[in-house]
Amino acid sequence: MAQAAARQRPPAALRIQRALPEQDVQGRVSRVTGGHTANLEHNGEHFVRGASMWHVFDCKSKTGSTPRECAVTLLDETFPAEFGDDIAPTAEWAAEIRRLARQRGATVLAHNYQLPAIQDVADHVGDSLALSRIAAEAPEDTIVFCGVHFMAETAKILSPDKTVLIPTARAGCSLADSITAEELREWKAEHPGAVVVSYVNTTAAVKAETDICCTSSNAVEVVASIPADREVLFCPDQFLGAHVRRVTGRTNMHIWAGECHVHAGINGDELAEQARAHPDAELFVHPECGCATSALYLAGEGAFPEERVKILSTGGMLDAARESRATQVLVATEVGMLHQLRRAAPEIDFRAVNDRASCRYMKMITPATLLRCLTDGTDEVDVDPETARLARRSVQRMIEIGHPGGGE
């Protein structure tokens, strides 16, 4: 078996523009080109490859811990010449991918944020939990998961007897890595008796320390199912947590200060500007976005009709798109989602609120890496059996509550 590449998963979220000023989360990126330091006016996605990133998380108000600073250098993907990044997603490439998948007895799954060519060649496209459930039910013994690492882990948790491959194990997630299992254990020790609710966008080790998982589709229902006198520890996404606390009105809910650096970079000013420029458009906002609160504020102030503001998971966006009568929709999420939305409702003009909101980690999966994966059978994803057992329990509890929808 070929040895998997060393994974490069960022230890924390990169933040350029803050959406919640009270959270002391800082980020800075250094990239020198031509002797000049790069301008960081964008949300950071153009500055990931070959960059060094420092992340400082001050979670003291949430955890009692001191701020931690981490650094990671994200290395360029390097492969043998036959798997170079110059492979074009031609019809011949797609035919070869499908041939290799049949030969290997594999089904290819692609997340909504993947490159359009990866989505188009996949057997199934969706968000992470939906894909993991498809993986568990698929007749194939091998799952090729085109997404970031925690998603492939979740597929392995739900399909322990299947071989799960990811085209590059370096594909990480800033949100999943904004909390570790050790940090969660420390947080639990500070709140004995509290119920831990973790977003499915977490590592297997964190899921194993969790009481109930949730998705962006059912987070409100999961938290509402917990007795009112029990404290709730919600992790890791602060924006989804704020949305849940706002909807439920729960006062004994503690929220971890984590974030997806792409969604956090979609800010309220951009949203307001786009809303003013397109007053007749509907607005689809992912609850991980830093601008979700701004969207509700705009509606509350009458700047944007309340009935046209929808806080939705990616699966919810697709459902809403199929039912919408709008001619134009502004979309606040990772730009890869536009491909599926346009396929679902080609008559609608879908526009990104921030067209730079592209996840470099998702885009590490290329035509070249997928071809290598199916040719060499790399990189294989393994989860410790006991960790998987405990993590599976928290996911199953979520499913028992109902309406899990998709993963994001």
Which CATH superfamily groups domain 179-261?
NadA-like (3.40.50.10800)
- Binding site for iminosuccinate: what residues are annotated? 111, 128, 199-201, 216, 286-288, 314
Domain ranges for the chain, please list them: 81-173+361-387, 179-261, 268-352
CA 26 from chain centre, in angstroms, equals: 20
Q: Do domains 179-261 and 268-352 have the same CATH topology?
A: yes
Q: DSSP strand E in 185-289: where? A: 195-199, 212-214, 232-235, 253-255, 282-285
What was the pLDDT predicted at 20? 31
The annotated binding site is made up of 111, 128, 173, 199-201, 216, 260, 286-288, 314, 359
CATH superfamily name and code, 81-173+361-387: NadA-like (3.40.50.10800)
Quote the CA–CA distance of 20 and 17 in Å, as a whole number.
Answer: 9
For residue 122, what are its two tokens?
Answer: 């996949």
**Angstrom distance (rounded) from CA 165 to CA 380:** 4
Instruction: Write down the pLDDT at residue 50.
Output: 31
Query: Quick check: 54 and 71 in contact, CB under 8 A?
Result: yes
296 contacts 99 by C-beta, under 8 angstroms:
no
Please state, in angstroms and rounded to a whole number, the distance separating the CA atoms of residues 273 and 281: 13
Closest among 298, 306, 236, 233 to 264, alpha carbons compared: 236
> CA nearest 177: which of 233, 235, 111?
235
Supply the pLDDT for residue 175.
Answer: 95
Annotated binding site for [4Fe-4S] cluster: 173, 260, 359
C-alpha dihedral (171, 176, 181, 184), degrees to nearest 10 = 170
Q: Mind listing the pLDDT tens digit of every residue in the chain (408 residues)?
A: 444 444 443 333 333 232 332 232 222 222 222 333 223 233 333 323 333 233 333 333 333 333 333 333 333 333 334 445 668 899 999 999 999 999 999 999 999 999 999 999 999 999 888 888 899 899 999 999 999 999 999 999 999 999 999 999 999 999 999 999 999 999 999 999 999 999 999 999 999 999 999 988 889 999 999 999 999 999 999 989 988 998 999 999 999 999 999 998 888 888 888 888 998 999 999 988 878 767 766 666 666 778 888 989 898 999 999 999 999 999 999 999 999 999 999 999 999 999 999 999 999 999 999 999 999 999 999 999 999 999 999 998 988 876 555 556
Q: What is the gyration radius of the CA atoms in the chain, in angstroms? A: 20
Which pLDDT score is estimated for 162?
96
Helices 367-376, 91-104: inter-axial angle, 10-degree rounding: 30
DSSP conformation letters of 5-29 = PPP---SS---SS-S-TTS-EEEEE
Name the packing angle between helices 128-137 and 149-158 (round to 10°).
Answer: 40
Residues in contact with 325: Cβ distance below 8 Å, sequence separation at least 6, in sequence order:
none
Domain topology for 268-352: Rossmann fold (3.40.50)
Q: What is the pLDDT of residue 2?
A: 43
